[in-house]
Structure 1
Amino acid sequence: MNLKNNNYTLSKTKTNTFVANVFSLMFTALIISGIAAVWFATESMKTFIIDMEGGLTTLGWISILSPVGLVLLMGLGFQKYSAQFLLGIFLLYSTLTGISLSTIFSIYSTGSIASTFFISALTFGVMALTGYTTKTDLTKLGSLLIMGVIGIVIASIINMFLGSSLMHYIISIIGVLVFTGLTAYDVQKIKNIGNQIEQGTENSQKMMIMGALTLYLDFINLFLMMLRLFGNRD
């Protein structure tokens, strides 16, 4: 009995450590993004993102388009690249994402950005805790949520041409629901990985980085969807 209890305790400790490391890296990336966003939102730095005519500069376009390529690079190069390389790409990704997010300060009031960030953080925290503690298997929700993300992307592209405010509102509501669900689903998946993976290996470091990227994307997208719903435009 004691041996079983000891094994259970060791397994639980291993899982908790892995999940804690994932969240620590995710929070580090969010801090980097926040600093970059606030810095490039200042009058002296804004000109590096937005030109005199109100369009995007070269750096502005890079900050918006390159993160997609970096995420694909990390996903497709998971087996090929080292953990250190993937970490560097992730930190670069969080910096460029922060730079692109600086433009929201030109659209929404600072107060509404702050309040929406708080609401998003609270929602994310509740759903992360739910995903970690629930005994319900959320695996079946995964495919539905991924389909939801694909639907949001397609609908958003279509609405770029339609310019429908109603469609914009509906997409935002669905987006909040999808990324709220994904938070719980992804945290449970990360917990399961932490329970199975061998700690201290190169592969575990890579999985930790990819887990942090996944949660980072969940939070950022949840925040942006909520901002579209609740943000007050200047």
Structure 2
Amino acid sequence: METKTDNFEYVYDNVSYVENPEASRKFIANVFVWMFVALGISSACTYLFAFIPQLSAMLRDPETGQNNILGIVTMFAPLIFILILRGRFEKMSLISTVVMFVAFSAVMGISISYIFYLYSFGTIASSFITAAVVFGVMAIGGYTTQQDLTKFGSILIMLLIGGIIATVLNVFLFRSSSFDLLISYIMVAIFVGLTAFNVQRLKRIGAGIEYGDADGKKLAIMGALTLYMNFVNLFLWLLRIFGNRR
């Protein structure tokens, strides 16, 4: 199950956009450091709960691979963390934000460990590499482009909402594999666009804040969470396209 995010736009409303390239570079660097921390934690948790029988058995039936109640709860748990981070961001301390971010990364990794029961290792690896390359190219593009991508952001978010609705309808009503494949291609395109949009947005945010204070560090963590979710969703939708189910 793909986990979606609203890109935490509310967090950035009060940040002024000014030209400060050095501050922007420092902020973006810290955003990516936190993002890589999240990916590392998630990858470790995914591997542990996929390949250690005692841990895997906590979430799913060892023979059928079907999720038990705890496994189902775990799949939806990342959404709870996102809602908490969204609702409590301004009131949370830096330490609390870091703890929630690390916990979210771990739970997210555990929640997607099911992919090793559905897809071959080669398919997962190729999807991950493709996602990393595409994400990297679009991140560089979003950082270096002189074109204002703001107008595309609202369009992409509306398309994302439409894609989520279409996915739900297809699961419960249409159950069409062809429609599912079409949705997957559209969602990949949406998250490719959102990657460039969010990197440019974070670049501007970084130019308008002083990273040395706690609020700036919290914004970097939230920015990392936004890009992390872009990458994870890009990877999962590519996996649906490339996937050869076992």
TM range (shorter): over 0.9
* Pair 1:167 & 2:179 matched: yes
Report how many residues are paired: 225
Instruction: Quote the offset at 1:192 in angstroms.
Output: 0.2
> Among 49, 56, 74, which residue is 1:46 paired with?
56
Instruction: Quote the offset at 1:224 in angstroms.
Output: 0.5
Name the structure, 1 or 2, with higher relative contact order (CA <8 Å, separation 6+).
2
Q: Letter of the 1:148 partner, please give it.
A: L
Corresponding residue SS for 2:126? helix
Instruction: Quote the offset at 1:43 in angstroms.
Output: 4.8
Q: Which has the larger radius of gyration?
A: 1
Equivalent residue number for residue 233 of structure 1: 245
Q: Unaligned 5+ residue runs, structure 1?
A: 1-9
Report if aligned partners of 2:45, 2:109 keep a CA contact under 8 Å in 1.
yes
Superposed structure 1 runs of 4+ greater than 4 Å apart: none
Equivalent residue number for residue 114 of structure 1: 125
Instruction: Quote the offset at 1:83 in angstroms.
Output: 1.9
* Pair 1:176 & 2:188 matched: yes
CA–CA distance in structure 2, aligned partners of residues 54 and 132 of structure 1: 42
CA–CA distance in structure 1, aligned partners of residues 75 and 22 of structure 2: 39
Instruction: Quote the offset at 1:54 in angstroms.
Output: 4.2
Q: Letter of the 2:185 partner, please give it.
A: I
Q: Letter of the 1:177 partner, please give it.
A: A
Q: Unaligned 5+ residue runs, structure 2?
A: 1-18
CA–CA distance in structure 2, aligned partners of residues 123 and 54 of structure 1: 31
Question: TM-score, structure 2 length as denominator?
Answer: 0.88
Instruction: Quote the offset at 1:39 in angstroms.
Output: 0.9
Corresponding residue SS for 1:102? coil
Instruction: Quote the offset at 1:138 in angstroms.
Output: 0.2
CA–CA distance in structure 1, aligned partners of residues 65 and 208 of structure 2: 51
- CA-atom RMSD in angstroms: 1.4
CA–CA distance in structure 1, aligned partners of residues 125 and 86 of structure 2: 32
**Between the two proteins, what is the percent identity of the paired residues?**
45
Do the aligned partners of residues 105 and 54 (structure 1) sit closer, same or farther apart at CA in structure 2, a change above 3 Å counting?
Answer: closer
CA–CA distance in structure 1, aligned partners of residues 39 and 65 of structure 2: 27
1:196-228 CA distance string (max 9 Å, x none): 012211210111011000000000000001000
1:8-36 CA distance string (max 9 Å, x none): xx932211111000000001100110111
Q: Which sits farther off after the overlay, 59-68 or 48-57?
A: 48-57
Equivalent residue number for residue 20 of structure 2: 11
Report if aligned partners of 2:23, 2:209 keep a CA contact under 8 Å in 1.
no
